[in-house]
């Protein structure tokens, strides 16, 4: 009986790892309008311009492999490469793991500060210092217990040479005010070419905090730009302006859980709407992206958000939006080995349970494909791997590798 159980377990793992290697396995459907969205929208709002939503479907023609490298990552949230090709993966429960290049070996890093892991909180994103090879410093965002609630905080610390613990941890920025909630931390990190750090923050979800996204005397519902020490980055648009926090780069965002810089150096975010209104935004300094005055979504109750408007003078339109939602999370611009995907925006989708491949031209969306829809997984983050492959982690703890066949 012992041998039988072992054999069954081994066979199950084998089937999991091999069943995902079928060429171009995909459950994408196409609607009558030629888009990948087959469901009716939640609202009757019309796009501001052609191609702003429900763009034509595209399908990859180049053969590729899909592999599950690991099924036991725990609660992964963010994934990046270390210089030697290994992976640094955050775990929502309050720590990080170093994962081998083949995905099989996992070692835990100790020494992180306490996180508030209720709801959507926990250990969230991670970024390497631009000088990591010489200083071993990493930056990470987390929901920190603070005041009478919690908030999105950014800290930095030094990894030991053996990558088993972190020391000299210091919180360099706190997105105040704190709030006793468990949603919409935003919390992606991205360094630009000059070594300044972009930080996205959510507006904490509840109606009492939603208004902060349009106010500039706080850090909720914002895209921030700071130095390695947490100070306002030089050249920020509101430095010296009364009533504005100097760290603010852009504002009026809801829950920007994805943020990436494209190969040209342009900053983009993806953010979650309510019922409808998930967005892709081209982030520019000093701009207002409209939440909670302007949206293509509606309240979960079915009521209109605010005045029920989709355009307002002084606010930016999303480059693209979804209704119904796909719940976009981590994003990356693909530069890897599959020629057809180069320059495409890859988005890990939670409720959508797929990776959205967004084809862009001149900063406009011209095509959309739903990859790995057959896997029925909540894709939390995606990585344009240094080895030319695409990687993804899921809420169920799976670790995917997508490579050229």
b/e map 238-251, b = 16+ CB within 10 Å: beeeeebbbbbbbb
Task: Using alpha carbons, select from 345, 351, 158, 372 the residue that is nearest to residue 266.
Answer: 345
The one catalytic residue among 92, 183, 184, 188: 184
Q: DSSP assignment of 247-286, as one string?
A: TEEEE--S---EEEE-TTS-EEEEE--SBS-EEEEE--TT
Helix (H) / strand (E) containing 110: none
Annotated catalytic, 354?
Answer: no
CA distance 242 to 217: 9
CA distance 53 to 126: 31
Tokens matching residue 245: 């926090």
CA distance 233 to 218: 17
Cα dihedral value 202, 333, 274, 374, nearest 10: -130
CA distance 248 to 233: 9
Residue positions annotated with a catalytic role: 184
């Amino acid at each position: 009986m012992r041998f039988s159980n072992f054999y069954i377990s081994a066979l199950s793992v084998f089937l999991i790892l091999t069943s995902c290697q079928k060429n171009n396995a995909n459950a994408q459907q196409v609607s009558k309008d030629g888009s990948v969205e087959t469901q009716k929208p939640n609202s009757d709002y019309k796009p501001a311009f052609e191609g702003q939503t429900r763009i034509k479907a595209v399908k990859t023609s180049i053969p590729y492999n899909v592999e599950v490298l690991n099924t036991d990552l725990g609660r992964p949230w963010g994934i990046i490469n270390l210089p030697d090709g290994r992976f640094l993966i955050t775990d929502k429960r309050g720590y990080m793991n170093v994962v081998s290049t083949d995905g099989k070996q996992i070692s835990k890093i100790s020494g992180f500060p306490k996180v508030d892991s209720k709801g959507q909180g926990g250990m969230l994103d991670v970024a390497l210092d631009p000088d990591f090879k010489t200083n071993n410093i990493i930056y990470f965002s987390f929901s920190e217990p603070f005041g009478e609630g919690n908030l999105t905080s950014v800290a930095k610390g030094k990894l030991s040479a053996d990558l088993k613990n972190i020391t000299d941890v210091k919180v360099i920025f706190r997105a105040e005010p704190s709030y006793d909630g468990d949603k919409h931390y935003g919390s992606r990190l991205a360094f630009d070419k000059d070594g300044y750090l972009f930080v996205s923050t959510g507006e904490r979800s509840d109606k009492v905090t939603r208004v902060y996204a349009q106010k500039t005397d706080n850090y909720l519902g914002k895209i921030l730009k700071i130095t390695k020490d947490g100070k306002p980055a030089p050249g920020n648009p509101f430095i010296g302006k009364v009533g504005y926090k100097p760290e603010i780069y852009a504002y009026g965002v809801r829950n920007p859980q994805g943020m990436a810089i494209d190969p040209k150096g342009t900053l983009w975010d993806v953010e979650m709407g309510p019922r409808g209104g998930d967005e892709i935004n081209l982030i520019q300094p000093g701009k207002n992206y409209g939440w909670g005055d302007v949206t293509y979504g509606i309240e979960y109750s079915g009521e209109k958000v605010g005045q029920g408007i989709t355009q307002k003078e002084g606010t930016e339109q999303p480059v693209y939006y979804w209704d119904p939602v796909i719940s976009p999370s981590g994003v990356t611009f693909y530069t890897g080995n599959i020629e057809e995907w180069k320059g495409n925006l890859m988005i890990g989708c939670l409720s959508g349970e797929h990776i959205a491949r967004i084809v862009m031209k001149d900063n406009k969306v011209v095509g959309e494909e739903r990859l790995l829809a057959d896997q029925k997984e909540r894709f939390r983050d995606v990585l344009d791997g240094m080895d030319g492959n695409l990687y993804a982690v899921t809420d169920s703890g799976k670790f995917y590798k997508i490579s050229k066949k």
